[in-house]
């Protein structure tokens, strides 16, 4: 089940540090939203605000790519002026591939950040990016469909 194995596993998005990004020559982060940058339906907190400021100050682009609605994505991204795309249909790579073209970034300069193996990690791999898996935020707020997938993810991880 190596297809689902991320390049890196971290606790939290703030572990994606400037040093890590520099070492990996990353100029763009394609990130999932729900349970990755904020709990379901939540907005960015102080930690997110500070992390985003550091990225901006270092010319690292953050692009939110979610399977949730555009409305949800906009509520999160607009206060920060972050490009955000809803209904990305992850793990299918086609919509994100066209976003990459539009923004003008290459997979070799990018990483994919997310909390789910079947959507985020797989999508990043299909896009030939390095992938970073983080522990889900606010797991108690997740819909049952997501919780069900967590069980499957745990079985796959046992096979690594
Ligand atoms: Mg998620």
Could you count the other beta carbons within 10 Å of the beta carbon of residue 14?
13
Q: What is the pLDDT of residue 43?
A: 97
Supply the pLDDT for residue 153: 85
Determine the pLDDT at residue 146: 79
Task: Name the β-bridge partners of 9.
Answer: 133
Q: Running along the chain, 160 residues long, what does each successive block of 10 average in pLDDT?
A: 89 97 97 96 96 97 98 98 98 97 96 96 97 89 77 83
Rounded-to-integer distance, Cα 45 and Cα 49, Å: 6
The structure's pTM equals 0.91
HSE-up (13 A, CA, CB side) for residue 25: 6
| Peptide bond just before 134 cis, omega within 30 deg | no
2-158 CATH fold: Rossmann fold (3.40.50)
Q: How far does the centroid of ligand 1 lie from the alpha carbon of residue 126, in Å?
A: 17
As beta bridge partners, residue 62 has 29
d(CA 80, CA 135): 23
Domain positions in the chain are 2-158
Tokens of 97: 């591939």
Position 57 scores a pLDDT of 97
The whole-angstrom separation of Cα 145 and Cα 96 is 24
pLDDT for the residue numbered 3: 81
Distance CA 99, CA 16 (A): 22
Query: Distance from the CA of 52 to the center of ligand 1, in angstroms?
Result: 18
Between the CA of 137 and the centroid of ligand 1 the distance, in Å, is: 9
Tell me which residues have their CB within 5 A of the ion that is ligand 1: 32, 34-36, 115
How far is ligand 1, taken at its centre, from the CA of residue 74, in Å?
Answer: 16
pLDDT of residue 140: 66
Those residues whose C-beta lies under 8 Å from the C-beta of residue 144, and which sit 6 or more positions away, are none
């Amino acid at each position: 089940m190596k297809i689902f194995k991320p390049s890196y596993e971290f606790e939290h998005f703030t572990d994606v540090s400037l040093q890590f990004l520099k070492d990996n020559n990353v100029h763009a982060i394609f990130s999932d939203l729900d349970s990755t940058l904020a709990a379901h339906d939540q907005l960015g907190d102080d930690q997110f605000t500070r992390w985003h400021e550091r990225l901006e100050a270092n010319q690292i682009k953050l692009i939110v790519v979610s399977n949730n609605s555009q409305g949800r994505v906009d509520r999160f991204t607009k206060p920060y002026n972050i490009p955000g795309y809803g209904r990305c249909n992850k793990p299918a790579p086609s919509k994100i591939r066209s976003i990459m073209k539009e923004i003008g970034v290459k997979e070799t300069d990018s990483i994919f950040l997310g909390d789910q193996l079947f959507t985020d990690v797989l999508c990043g791999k299909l896009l030939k990016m390095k992938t970073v898996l983080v522990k889900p935020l606010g797991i108690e707020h997740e819909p049952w469909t997501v919780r069900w997938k967590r069980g499957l993810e745990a079985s796959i991880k046992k096979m690594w």
